[in-house]
Each structure stands twice: as C-alpha cells, then as structure tokens.
Structure 1
Amino acid sequence: MARTTPPRPLEVETLFPEVAGCRKTAVRLHPRLGDPSARDSSLGGPVLWPISEPWPHCDDDHPRTAFSPPGEGPIPLVPVLQLFAADVPDLAFPSGTDLLQVLWCPFDHEDGYVPCPEIHWRDGSLDDLRPADPPRPTGAHNDYLPDPCVLHPERVTDYPNWDLPDEVADALEARFEELEEETGWSYWYHLSVSDGVKIGGYPTWTQEPDWPACPACSVRMEHLLTISSSEFDGGSWRTWLPIEDTPATGTIWDLPYEQRTKIQSPPGLMLGDMGGIYLFECVSCPDRPFAYRSDCS
C-alpha cells in the first residue's frame, strides 16, 4: 500500500513567499514492517554483497555507556538501508552505480553517542553480488537494530525550519506567531520540514543545525538522507501522518500503543531519545566524501 502525506493545510508560499526560494524536494521512504528480499529496497532488510568483499567490521574504541560492546574485538556492521535507483529516481547516484547501502556499528561512538554509519555505492547489476549472510553482533541493543521494513517512497516538498536563514526567520517571526494563534497551524512543526526517514530535502534537526564541511574542498556538504527514530511526533503528526495510516475515528494517539508504534516507529529504532542520524556527502568532489551528524529531542 502506498503512503501519502496529506496536503499541507495552508498554502505556504502564498502566506510566506519569502521561503519559496528555499524549497527543496525530499523523498519520504515510509518504512513499514514487512519481508523484503535482498534484491529489494528496504530498511533493516537483507542486502546484496560482493562475494569477493569481506563483510565490514568496526575496530573503533567505544565509550562506556548503556550501549557499549560487551567485549573486545571487531564488531560486524549491520545493514540499515538499501536503495535501488529505480525506487528513488530523485537520488543522484554516482556515475556507474544504481545501489546505495548504509550500514552501521550498532554501539555508541564518541561522535554523538550513536551508531557510526558508513555508505557504499554499487553497480547492482554486477554478477558477484549475492544475498549477504553477515554475522550478528553480540550484545547489540534492539534500539540500534532495525526491524526489516519495506519502503513506500513518496516525493514531498520541504521548507527549512532550523535552516531558515536568520534574516528571513526574524522578518517572519511575528507572522508565524499570528498564523498559529489564528489557525492552530505552526510553520515550524506543520508547514516546513517533513518528518521521518527520507532522502534529500532538509535534515529533520531536533536541535540547532550542524552541517559538515568537506575535508577536501571545505564546501558545505549536501544532505543525503535522514534516518529518524519516528515518522512523526506529538507536535507534527497532524501533517506528517500518512492518509492511509489515519484512524477512521479518533486520532493516532487513541490507538493501542503497539498498533500506534507500528505506524510511528516501524523499524523500532531509538536514536538519541527520538532523534536522528543525518548523512551528508560532497557532490563537488569526485570521490563523494561522506560525513554524519546526530542529535536528540
């Protein structure tokens, strides 16, 4: 079943033409529990892997937290996201590739105290790709091990919230407040940045932005994707809850907890107390350098 974000309740660019130049396209992936194969785009599902390439491991030192490895030695990474170009045509794949894979170490790292991700761009037509059978890391917490989900990609429009230029935010502050008082709709929560796991658009920051610069050329990196703890939260659900998941009566918060969490947080991830991990890349450099950031609510 497709997932459809409701139309915004108000015409953003009519009310606030100042934000029109900041418009970006995002692709909400809408993961839902399922049984994807290794040849499907998925979150937390099985992935293809070259026969000739050893499964990657993490050799980093890990801080002592509740999500620390129970012992010593290299830790096998876990598959997080696999995307085929045919399913996300809005994503600019490097030349000669049509498959993006995201893996991470499922233990806290010093940088953000969240899992440490890595990305792989591949040619999905290569003959040596086979369904992987990676070892499972011992002692990893379920919060960092996504449950297998099928994806329902949907193009949406993003407008910046935390990333709105200061001069624009200052000029619009009074009008934003007036709109919320008159209609109950908040630009920041309901009209700007889309929630959930997504490609492109703006990061769904829960704290102040922290854009990385490319270590090679010093240019600010582009947002590649967001892996979020939830599809929506208590402040944003009215505009980011898909139409197909909207209860016939009452609201999403009237559903039993287990039923609601299958809609709100299908992969079962909890990153920094309902936060997210944001992946960035430099599209100016031929080797597409990669970086990540994280935050919590």
Structure 2
Amino acid sequence: MAEHTSNALQTLYDGLQKIVGDIAREADAVGTPKVELTRPAEEKFGDYATNVALMLAPVMRDNPRSVAAKIAERATNLPGVASVDVAGPGFVNLTLDDSWFVSTLKTVLELDGKWGSGVLPTHEKISIEYVSANPTGPMLAVSARHAVFGDVLTNLLRFGGDTVETEFYINDTGRQVMLFGASIIARATGNPIPEGGYEGDYVVDLAEQFDVSADDDPDEVGRRGVAAMVAGMQPALERLGTSFDRYQSELELHDSGLVEEALAQLERDGYLYELDGATFLRTTTFGDDKDRAVRRANG
C-alpha cells in the first residue's frame, strides 16, 4: 500500500494479509496469495471485498467458500470491522464501522492535499505528447480541449508517483512546410498561391513580417513560418495554464539520425512489416486498434 493513503486502510490490508498467511501456513499450503481490496459494485455487499479465498483455495486443496469462511471468522476481530460476510463462490465482503471512517478522515486532513499520492503500483517514466497543433496555421479551439485533457492526465500520473515529461511535437518537415513557405513567398511577391497552398490572412501577416523574395527556398521560409506560428501559440497555451517540458522539432529528430536508428531497432525486434509498399508498425501488439504506417509507399 502507498505511503500517502489512509493508515486505517493500511491496517485493514495488513491484517487481512496476516490472516491469509496464517491460514495458509496452518494448512501447510505452498505460497500465500496477495490480498487485493476492491470497492463492491453495490452498497449491500459492504465497503470492501476481496477474492483472496478463491486464490488460496487451490493451494490449500479446499473449497473456496470454506476458505472464505475461515478468513471471515478471523477478520471480524480486525480494528474498524463491523461485520464480514461470505458471498458467491468465495468472496469476502467487509463492512466497516464509524471509527474506521473517522480515522480515515483524520489521515486525509493530516496529509493536507497529499492524500492519495504515490498510489500507483509501479512508478514509471512516461512521455506524454499532446496538443501538437498543426504549425502551418493558427491553433484551433479543439486544441484547448486537448491541452486540458493532457494536463489532467499528466497531473494524475505525477500525483500517483510516475515521472512524466510533456512534449509538444512540431511537424516542421515535409510537403506541407514547403507549401507553407511557398504560400508566404507568393503573398510577399504578389504571385498566385500554389495549388494546395495556404490562403489565410495569417499568411499575409507573415509575408509582411518576413523579408523574402521569389528566389528564397520555400522549405526554409516554411520553417521560419512554423517557428513564428508556434511562438504565437505558446502565450495562448500559457494563459490556459498549459506548459511543456519540451517543444520537439520533427526536423531535428530526422537530422540527428534518431528516427532511422529507432526504425532499425524496431525492425530488428520484429515490430515492422511491409504492406503495399508502405512500412507499418505493429501497434496492435500494444493494444492499438490497428497497426500504424511509419513510412508511406511514396516515402
């Protein structure tokens, strides 16, 4: 159990674990299952329930309900326990008395906002990428929803004990950036917007800010435009209360060689496959609803 939870809950958990261990030893059973406490779906089943008797019965070579009855008989003497019932195939349901809840509330007040922190069973290092608005245009209102969702998830994981880094991923490479730059150049020089280009008023604003000519490299101008758009997004996100540990440029990842290194490692591990000329990552292995393309057929 975690440090910043109820002392009363810890006492209940420890007491049940000792009871299970004692019963297992008395029966010369090999191994003692870990007690897990859950909140019953219905109030009539008590305040907490455990299925530990179902796991202990096989190693004791006994009936689960019989094992549950032995646990229940001893659990009635635990501090804060008002009653214990056996239900179904061998569930142990515990109803707690008022003193248990008073003790728990006292702990909550003493911890002053820290109650419930550090409760995740394993503390992991996690990277969360969110918002990552398209940098070739103004940030849309939907990004505010993404920002709030990402912030809440980050805060919950950190509160639970995980180490979390947040990232805004900047898509600053590829055809869209070239078209963005070509559109800025077209606006600055009075030429037509290229097919598939960008025609918003913000492009006019960028054309007025930049000193560009028809001879400039559209990729370079596009990257300048992306940098300006992202710089404009940051104050809005900060007003919302969202900040990131890292603004990660896609171009920098490619230039560093890390993308190719990662793809090579994934291929060695058997997570990549070819289909219709494209390269796919087996993300369904990790719970995704479909595998994702990491390289299109046209590159």
Greater share of helix: 2
Which is greater in Rg?
2
Q: Structure 2-normalised TM-score?
A: 0.19
With a CA cutoff of 8 Å and minimum separation of 6, indicate the structure with the bigger relative contact order: 1
Q: Structure 1-normalised TM-score?
A: 0.19
